[in-house]
Amino acid sequence: MSYHPESLIIELEERARELRIDSLAMIYRRGAGHPGGSLSVAEIMAALFFHKMRLDPERPDWPERDRFILSKGHASAILYAALARRGFFPMEDLKQWGELSCHLQGHPDCLKTPGVEMTSGILGHGVAIGSGWALAARMNHLNYRVYVLLGDGECQAGVVWEGAMTAAKYRLANLTAIVDYNDVQLDGPVHEIMPMEPFVGKWQVFNWAVLEINGHNMRQVVEALDMADEIHDRPTVIVAHTTKGKGVSFMENDSHWHGVPPDDVQYAQAIAELRGEV
């Protein structure tokens, strides 16, 4: 694991802040989207798209690139923001999100949007699809890594665990899953809707390597992504403890903000908070 200077961490934190502001602006402008689960993954997305993943926006189909599946596809706002800021398409496109003529769909569409590796939006697919992709990498002697970002509530879907068994069976060390464990889902707290604990234990008994981190601590995020590279006999899941709606006081830990856009006043306050002006 390489040492990461504080300057990199600070730069990535700034990226995360930008992605939060972009996401909220998009959701506010469109009057639709999922703010809570976009804000909770900002550090993870910044670390992946601006540091960890090998990507080339000039060659979106570069065979050696790392692959990313946003299994929690409803957090599309922050994926689109990351792809635009990374140069896969113009930032201007973000303003057209959801319009009939725009390539940016409500949920990610790999046939329409450059840089979207796989269509998603219905929960539960990422680990199983990522397993197939990781198998193909091994068979093709390519050393790319497959990253899957999924939600905690998403892990209530049985197919997640079918995929987890598959990845373990084939010892897919080139697969890293990251769970956004914010403990809030559409209808309320995850621990009330359908408790997932012991969550780390579940992945362990499914024969995954488990790294548990604070998903808002950039150094921990970056180091966990590195650590996963050093595990060679099994897939890795990073259980990232996060706060749904992170960075906007009135959105934090409130299931109301799972899929509701802010009004004018709320938006102004949210942006002010994210800019550190409050």
- Give residues with Cβ within 8 angstroms of 204, minimum separation 6: 210
Using rule CB under 8 A, residue 166 touches other proteins: yes
Between residues 120 and 182, which has the closer beta carbon with respect to other proteins? 120
Total residues in contact with other proteins, by rule CB under 8 A: 28
Using the rule CB under 8 A, give the single segment among 18-26, 41-49, 52-60, 111-119 that binds other proteins.
Answer: 111-119
Please say whether the beta carbons of 239 and 206 come within 8 A.
no
CA distances from residue 192 to 40, 51, 112, 187, 217 in whole angstroms, order as listed = 19, 36, 37, 9, 26
Closer by beta carbon to other proteins, 28 or else 206:
206
CB of 111 to other proteins, least distance (A): 6
**189 sits in which H/E element:** strand 188-189
Binding of residue 130 to other proteins (CB under 8 A): yes
Per the listing, tokens 């798209």 go with 49
- Residues 248 and 40 sit within 8 Å (Cβ to Cβ): no
Angstrom distances, CA of residue 70 to CA of 64, 82, 118, 156, 226: 19, 12, 8, 17, 19
* Contact between 129 and other proteins per CB under 8 A: yes
Shortest distance in whole angstroms from residue 106 CB to other proteins: 13
Please select the residue that binds other proteins; options are 5, 92, 111, 276, rule is CB under 8 A.
Answer: 111
- Separation CA 160–CA 64 (nearest Å): 26
What residues from 226 to 265 belong to the interface with other proteins (CB under 8 A)?
none
The answer to the question of residue 170 lying near other proteins (CB under 8 A) is yes
CB of 192 to other proteins, least distance (A): 26
Candidate list 46, 94, 134, 271; residue touching other proteins; CB under 8 A: 134
Is 113 a binding residue for other proteins by CB under 8 A? The answer is no
User: Which part of the chain contacts other proteins (CB under 8 A), choosing from 19-27, 160-168, 204-212, 228-236?
Assistant: 160-168
State the DSSP H helix or E strand holding residue 166, giving kind and residue range, or none if neither.
helix 158-169
Nearest to 248 by CA among 74, 20, 25: 20
Contact status: 174 vs other proteins (CB under 8 A): no
Helices 76-86 + 6-30 axis angle, to 10: 120
Out of 1, 10, 91, 110, the residue judged to bind other proteins by CB under 8 A: 110
For other proteins, the binding residue among 121, 188, 189, 259 (CB under 8 A) is 121
Does residue 272 belong to the site contacting other proteins (CB under 8 A)?
Answer: no
CB of 156 to other proteins, least distance (A): 15
Q: What separation in angstroms does the CA of 186 have from each of 165, 220, 247? A: 27, 27, 19
Closer residue to other proteins, CB minimum distance, 28 or 133 = 133
- Residue 32, burial from CB neighbour count under 10 angstroms (0-12, 13-18, 19+): middle
Contacting positions for other proteins (CB under 8 A)? 67, 109-111, 117-119, 121-122, 125, 128-137, 139-140, 159, 162-163, 165-166, 170
